[in-house]
Amino acid sequence: MPQEIMFWEALVRAQDEEMTNDPLVFCMGEDIGVVGGTYKATTGLYDKYGPERVMDTPISENGYTGLGIGASYLGCRPIIEIMSVNFAWLAMDQIFNTAAKAHYMSGGQLKAPVVIRSPGGTAHQLGAQHSARMEKVFMGVAGLRVVTPSNPKQVYGMLKSAVRCDDPVFIYEHELMYNMKGAVPEDEFFHPLEGSEVTRRGKDVTLFAYNISVHWCLQAAEILASQYQIDAEIVDLYTLSPLDRKGIIESVSKTHRALIIEEAEPAVGVGAEVMAIINEECFYELDAAPVRVSAVNVPIPYNHSLEKAAIPNANDVVKAVLKMFGR
């Protein structure tokens, strides 16, 4: 029977199971030990496994990320938490040049089975320097897998799969989702690190989304169905690198219309890449031009009203669909 647990509880369970399974799995990051993590994602692990396997680190993202990647070269399987994706800028050299390129540049002699997980997105008045949406940066790096779960079941299964994967995996978690509840099977399972998921089946238009925007689309789809008799399909792009080209093509070929919804700014983003795939593969299937629903291209304001105005929501999705249908 599935259990209703929170997103952060699913993270704790996955890490606990993998650390029990393999003594070479360890966690490291700022405040993950005694405190249990800023978002509770390592609660109880320090008491169970001790400071050698749940390591509180200094405020030095470049340093401890490099340390974890080096350990992965020697056969360990580190789970590195970067407290906020905004701080990942400081570890870019280690992630992009050291982890992502090691296997290729060594002719397959080196592996970097490291998991880097980090919360991001716009939460509640955290200001421009703590509200980054950096998924577009990570998904553009060859050799790095990028996944972004939209519910507790996904994050549980993805983290377990990522720990056992021989490639470096970046797990992008949304800050507003840690207290979200969802059903997670009691039995152990592993979620694929490639592909996408049809969250809602429909025939009139496809809404492509990931993490928090999946939930905006679910709200929008109910409004579109009940008030406007428009049947929307929702595709959860839980893997951003590699994108599920086949799944994108299949859905657009069925509905013949596509919207891509992302919380980030539109330039050089997930929406742009999905639109490129649609235009390359499905151009003659389209009944209307693909549309992006994205954030305003400004640093996220601290002011609450301005913050809300800068990012999209379910109503923006509804408006974009109606405009596509000329209504």
Per-residue pLDDT tens digits for 295-308: 999 999 999 999 99
Low-confidence ranges of the chain (pLDDT < 50): none
Catalytic annotation present for 61: yes
- Domain 3-184 is in which class? alpha beta
pTM over 0.85: yes
Q: How do the residues of the chain divide into helix, strand and coil, expressed in percent and rounded to 5?
A: 40, 20, 40
The pLDDT value given to residue 2: 86
CATH architecture of 197-324: 3-Layer(aba) Sandwich (3.40)
Q: Which of 103, 130, 191, 215 is catalytic?
A: 130
The pLDDT value given to residue 146: 98
The pLDDT value given to residue 85: 94
Q: Give the residue from 100, 194, 197 showing the smallest Cα distance to 140.
A: 100
* CA quadruple 301, 80, 154, 8: dihedral sign: negative
The pLDDT value given to residue 295: 96
The pLDDT value given to residue 327: 86
Catalytic annotation present for 130: yes
Beta strand pairing call for 232-236 and 54-56: unpaired
Task: Measure the CA–CA gap between 195 and 249, rounded to whole angstroms.
Answer: 12
Residues of the chain with CATH 3.40.50.920: 197-324
The pLDDT value given to residue 139: 95
The pLDDT value given to residue 1: 74
Residues of the chain with CATH 3.40.50.970: 3-184
Q: Which of 9, 18, 30, 61 is catalytic?
A: 61
